Structure 1
């Protein structure tokens, strides 16, 4: 009878990602913290998922920024609920997480740019 043809050769797999240079790691860590100020939890989440295997420094900073932004998300919800419960009397509470995000985000970006590790105060550790 007829012989079945052999299966086509498989494509080679992707090579593991190479570790970034220290300067690139500092740059992406800085951009992650600045992105957290501008875009909330979305920028640290994307950079964590994409760059977590590209170096220990960038992984630590992206995880730290993501943890802080998730903590801030909880603070935003709590401040909004508190404002609703008090019928707007405590509306100023909504601005506290915003101010904290800006101040601590700038401090973290400066530390990342210097090549130093930074830990956000009052941050809950969700990812590591």
Structure 2
């Protein structure tokens, strides 16, 4: 028994069916800058417990948040992650001061682990943002919504 031609559903076409979710190249580049600018901020400020890390993402977010939705999302994500790292750095410094220096035996190993994790996650986020993927950092306080 044959099927009438009008009841056969055509296969999906190989061409674009509509607008894609891929951000434009300039949006991807600005999102990459939002993530990697935290590296520059830490280099400029001397990596003082993560204090300069959030300045680059903050500036990019404030400048581009209204014109580029992908950059808005990724700069907020980078800003939240770097604020979290700065809070951890402040807590480690406070621990060292409160314990009159004895907390340094905890602060240094934890600081090294946090610093290496920060570096690795920042590089991964930059690569993923350049690919057009909305990256979410693990262990991040979402303070800026």
Asked if 1:48 corresponds to 2:57, the answer is no
Q: 1: CA distance between counterparts of 2:111 and 2:93?
A: 6
Aligned to 1:36: 38
> Where in structure 2 are the equivalents of 1:79-118 lying within 5 Å?
79-84=92-97, 85=99, 87=102, 88-90=104-106, 91-118=108-135
Answer yes or no: is the 8 Å Cα contact 2:84–2:141 preserved in 1. yes
Offset of residue 127 of structure 1: 1.2
Q: In 2, are the aligned partners of 1:83 and 1:94 still within 8 Å (CA)?
A: no
CA distance in 1, matches of 2:141, 2:105: 28
Partner of 1:9: none
> Is 2:77 aligned against 1:64?
yes
**Which runs of 5 or more residues in structure 1 are unaligned?**
1-20
Give the match for residue 139 of structure 2.
122
Which moves more between the two structures, 82-91 or 67-76? 82-91
Alpha-carbon separation, structure 2, partners of 1:80 and 1:94: 10
**DSSP-derived class of the 1:93 partner:** helix
**Structure 2 Cα separation of the partners of residues 38 and 93 of structure 1:** 22
Provide runs of 4+ in structure 1 moved above 4 Å. Answer: none
Q: CA deviation at 1:30?
A: 0.3
Q: Compute the RMSD of aligned alpha carbons.
A: 1.5
Paired position in structure 2 for 1:17: none
Choose from 21, 24, 27 the match for 1:25. Answer: 27
TM-score (norm 2): 0.69
Count of aligned pairs between the two proteins: 108
